[in-house]
Structure 1
């Protein structure tokens, strides 16, 4: 549990927490603690610089119950690695049974704290307090973040030690409770990486690297904790669609201690005996997982050495990791694509500041079919386009002379908004699109962009799909879903049935489903457009209840990433981002096609254009 409240004066004793930054000690105000009565709420630490260190202070002699509760909550916002100081506020038995690592409940503000009765316990040596607040999120034992809502209310019980007369907490909820600003100061989001379990990318059959975001304490040896988390395996949500190359039971070698890179930015990871018989190819995959994960945390690691039983198994650098696995954020698209004023598919170099467009090779660039939305395969060899009336989906080769052929999907929706969404390609070369026909809403997938569409099952989907974007890894999908006039951005897990030779002989495609859709932008009630913008991040344009349209980044787990939001832009109708964040954000707005180069303001590319996309 912890303490947090935005923007108020901090009513806490100097004995509770000390802040240290840049070699200076900053003590909080020395307001006195009440000896009895209600606590009016545990005030938040105003949002501190992330470099500020926070140290817990132990309970003072003869502290009253209210101060014990306050001090305990404050101690939980500190950088104490094992909560040793926080445990000093507990009885010996409570300290043994309390499990802070089980969960972290994040509240909008710090828990309000109200004194209550003894909770059915006898005598005057027992009191209780009720912790209340509004839920924002829950970080579980796997360090996985999930948005939460509703009221929070839990009891904390205290007793007076009969021998020394000191008040201590002897009953409390499992895990930690912390306000949002303290959570943001204490924790950071990091991606750990696994491999898509049933996919291959390109001719080299590289596995696709999949980001699995978790939260770790920012200043409590995050590097070692991330390696341990990676070795423990993927989170439950992602687990069904990914694999790890580490043998079952692999862990850090006993007594490994804290992991730190050397002065050459190489990190040595000593593993236990479970990994001693791993071959070079498998070890390189393990090292790639480690390197991708650590580089999500810090720029201080360029190379990883994997050891087991004291012997070196392999060494891998960035170039080696790129050869082992395909990672979306490392793939740099050659072109940016959009539809010009003549409803043709055109392109410009992806990283260029040029505004000189050229039609793509093939019939989609020749205007054989007027288009309203497009998607380009990740190898940039094939494109899919939805006809201007939204009724048909065409697939064409991006080579000169390539024919367009017949539509691969048709919609019978009565109006344009009731027909096909913009399409999206995954890393396997499969094509996705949704039919918004209210009489027969469908999510469809075409293997390699051809053949009979597979109708994708989506258990738990409540509403009609407005927009579809598949992640580069091919195992996660983002959907904008409309229900009762409100739109939600949801992220689901793509599961593909194992191939069945009998069904294949009968011409049946393996089944595909989207499971466990979860909110990625829970505060928004209207979502205009969205795009993947990294391995575990999306950029979304939308509006909160009673608010105005805004553009922001969101994590796939529903949390908000650190760093600034994109510069404001009015009248946005479509947004395009590459997983490679070195490429500019591109939008279709009232000013036409515009882009946001790094460190600059929005710039017009062309006035007469729409539907910008990067490959994917």
Structure 2
């Protein structure tokens, strides 16, 4: 896979505020039946073997698990391990349970077989992964004799796949939706079976809408629209023919095109997209008939302004990644800062607002002001989390005293964000907005130390809320810090399994793909982290700052010693 570059009424209502450009679309046509929208391809190199005559119950269950890894439509070989009745009723489309490769089927005298394994996670029928974090998985298979052979009479619906088989037969791609400002696409990770039907399956996921976790925080320009036929890919151009676009969609069509192009561009066999509505071309001012991500570059989910350079705090002063003091009073140390965040404007390539935390005498003060200008106190508390920004709005967020989420607009007074479930989950130590402002990663106090949660930022006319806070990495204990490396990926500092101390990890926003990051070059265990798309991750280790370059941690200034400091950050 190459990296990827609510309703229709809501899109139409917001369109005038979102994207400029005239569009021309037809208004009616006869739908054409779509076949095999979500079906897998016939073969991606896995050969399922049928039952062996005389096989015992354990062997039959093992054979069934192996045969479920086939991508042949309807899993005909896997059904041979079932009784005739079970083969007729078993559903192989009810999602996937992914288990560890070291599973064990154990037969009992009554013909039942109990399969136990570690639960890696589950993928729902829409391709959405939820982590199992190695929790125990157990399934009981009832076997009976049929025509002299043991066969499974009670298979669980859906597929049960060993982790290596799952990795081999499924690809993770992003279904892209649109942030509430209509300025960039937002990743919603999905798993699709490898093969030639991915383009149709991915567009089908877009039409069906965002996953539960993020749906309340995004717009779906394709809501209410249908595919007229399967997506056709020829010479690396995908043709998407839609119907059901509401009259007067106007500029919402631009959002729809950006959504489709960014999503399909991830696929290996797609380099461009041709969008049709009821068989006729869609005309968007300034955009060719065959569209690429270059035509919708402004929607890049990982866009970062050039002015977004590293900052940190040292001896109470705000400094840049070169070690020089930041301009203005914040760079002098007079405020005795402990952390800061800075907004950046991609249109002007200028830094905007600084929001910083100062601590003295057991009291923390939140200060704000234009970058390089004097900072003014706006709130006090016992503690504030390090401030955080998103690239889509000129505002800064923090958490006061571990439970009250505060939003500070560039103009106007600080506002409390509705986050009613947060206090019950534990005191918040870290709160970081995703680059698109649709998600928040939070570290809260748990029974075994810091616990990582991810929630969705939901905006309405009169309220901003953080909802659906959920654990995405329960296997990580003693989480210390988290940062967004991309719109859909995190860098996490957490306790190293079986070892003392803290180590860095990378993972997807859904909990998939947890990987340890090398600590080569670090003088001590890391205690804080910062990241941004297309920028090297930063950590504090031994009271000094380090950046990850080529898999090795190096100093921020080439050829010079490490900079002394804390609380690294990238403006967004």
The answer as to 2:110 corresponding to 1:114 is no
**Length-normalised TM-score, structure 2:** 0.81
Q: Deviations over 1:311-348 (max 9, x none)?
A: 2225422222124x3x4412344232323544322224
Residue number in structure 2 paired with 1:4: none
* Aligned counterpart, 1:428: 393
How far the C-alpha of 1:115 sits from its partner, in A, is 1.8
Which protein has the bigger strand share? 2
- Pick from 168, 190, 195 the counterpart of residue 178 of structure 2: 195
Matched, 1:151 2:105: no
> Structure 1's 306 and 596: CA in aligned 2 closer, same or farther, altered over 3 A?
same
Given that 1:333 and 1:614 are in contact with CA atoms closer than 8 Å, whether structure 2 keeps it comes out as: no
**2:30 paired residue number:** none
Contact 2:60–2:151 (CA under 8 A) maintained in structure 1: yes
Mapped contact 1:444–1:454 kept (Cα < 8 A): yes
Deviations 1:146-182 (A, max 9, x none): 12364322222333435xx444333211112223333
What is the count of residue pairs matched by the alignment? 507
**1:256-335 alignment to 2 at 5 Å?**
256=230, 259-262=232-235, 265-271=236-242, 273-275=243-245, 281-298=251-268, 300-314=269-283, 315=289, 316-323=291-298, 325=299, 327-335=300-308
Secondary structure, in 3 states, of the residue corresponding to 2:571? Answer: coil
Deviates more, 1:90-99 or 1:372-381: 90-99
Mean alpha-carbon deviation: is it higher for 227-236 or for 357-366?
357-366
Per the alignment, in what secondary structure is the counterpart of residue 54 of structure 1?
A: coil
Aligned to 1:101: 93
Distance 1:116 1:420 in 2: 58
- Structure 2 unaligned regions, length at least 5: 1-42, 284-288, 346-350
Residues in 2 aligned to 1:172 and 1:368: alpha-carbon distance in whole angstroms: 69
**C-alpha distance in 2, partners of 1:55/1:304?**
34
CA distance, structure 1, for counterparts of residue 448 and residue 66 of structure 2: 43
Which residue of structure 1 lines up, in the alignment, with residue 146 of structure 2? 161
Q: Is the 8 A contact 2:519 2:552 kept in 1?
A: no
TM-fit CA distance, 1:210: 1.4
Distance change in 2, residues 1:174/1:408 (3 Å): same
Provide closer, same or farther for how the CA distance between residues 293 and 247 of structure 1 changes in structure 2, counting only shifts above 3 A.
same
Could you report, residue by residue, the CA deviation over 1:551-609 in whole angstroms, capped at 9, with x for unpaired residues?
11011112225x773444332122111123xx222222226222122465523434223
In the TM superposition, 1:351-430 aligns within 5 A as 355=322, 357-379=323-345, 380-389=351-360, 391-399=364-372, 402-405=373-376, 407-411=377-381, 413=382, 419-426=383-390, 427-430=392-395
Which blocks of at least 5 consecutive residues in structure 1 are unaligned?
Answer: 1-50, 119-126, 201-205, 349-354, 414-418, 500-509
Q: Is 1:477–2:440 an aligned residue pair?
A: yes
Match of 2:509 among 556, 571, 575: 556
Contact 2:258 2:296 in 1 (8 A): yes
CA RMSD for the aligned pairs? 2.8
Q: Matched residue of 2:410: which SS? A: helix
Deviation at 1:433, TM superposition (A): 0.8
Check 1:513–1:75 CA distance in 2 against 1; reply closer, same or farther (3 A cut).
same
Aligned to 1:6: none
Q: Give the whole-Å Cα distance in 1 for the aligned partners of 2:311 and 2:140.
A: 57
Does 2:411 align with 1:442?
no
Query: Secondary structure, in 3 states, of the residue corresponding to 1:291?
Result: helix
Kindly state the Cα deviation for residue 613 of structure 1 after the two structures are TM-superposed: 0.9
State the partner residue of 1:602.
554
Q: Does 1:138 align with 2:113?
A: no
Deviation digits for residues 466-525 of structure 1, max 9, x if unmatched? 0110112212100010134511011011223433xxxxxxxxxx3x32222112322221
1:239 equivalent to 2:220? Answer no
Give the aligned partner of residue 494 of structure 2.
542
| 3-state SS of 2:425 partner | coil
Q: 1:602 to 1:521 in 2, by over 3 A?
A: farther
Q: Shift of the alpha carbon at 1:218?
A: 3.4
CA distance in structure 2 between the partners assigned to 1:87 and 1:306 by the alignment: 40
8 Å CA contact 1:467, 1:479 repeated in 2: yes
Q: 1:388 & 1:336 partners in 2: Cα distance?
A: 25
Q: Report the equivalent of 1:183.
A: 166
Determine if the alignment matches structure 1 residue 56 to structure 2 residue 21: no
* SS at structure 2 position matched to 1:377: strand
After alignment, is 136-145 or 523-532 more displaced?
136-145
What's the TM-score, normalizing by structure 1?
0.75
Partner of 2:24: none
Question: Post-superposition shift, 1:421?
Answer: 1.4
* Alpha-carbon contact 1:377-1:383 (below 8 Å) kept: yes
- Tell me the secondary structure at the aligned position of residue 435 of structure 2: coil
Decide whether aligned partners of structure 1 residues 535 and 577 sit closer, same or farther in structure 2, where only a CA change above 3 A counts: same
Contact 2:342–2:371 at 8 Å: present in 1 too? Answer: no
Q: Distance in 2 between matches of 1:106 and 1:532?
A: 26
> Do the aligned residues in 2 keep the contact of 1:99 with 1:174 (CA within 8 Å)?
yes
Show the counterpart of 1:172: 155
Q: Distance in 1 between matches of 2:223 and 2:456?
A: 24
CA contact (8 A) 1:338 1:609 kept: no
State the distance in 2 between where 1:545 and 1:270 align. Answer: 50
Query: What SS is found at the alignment partner of 1:286?
Result: helix
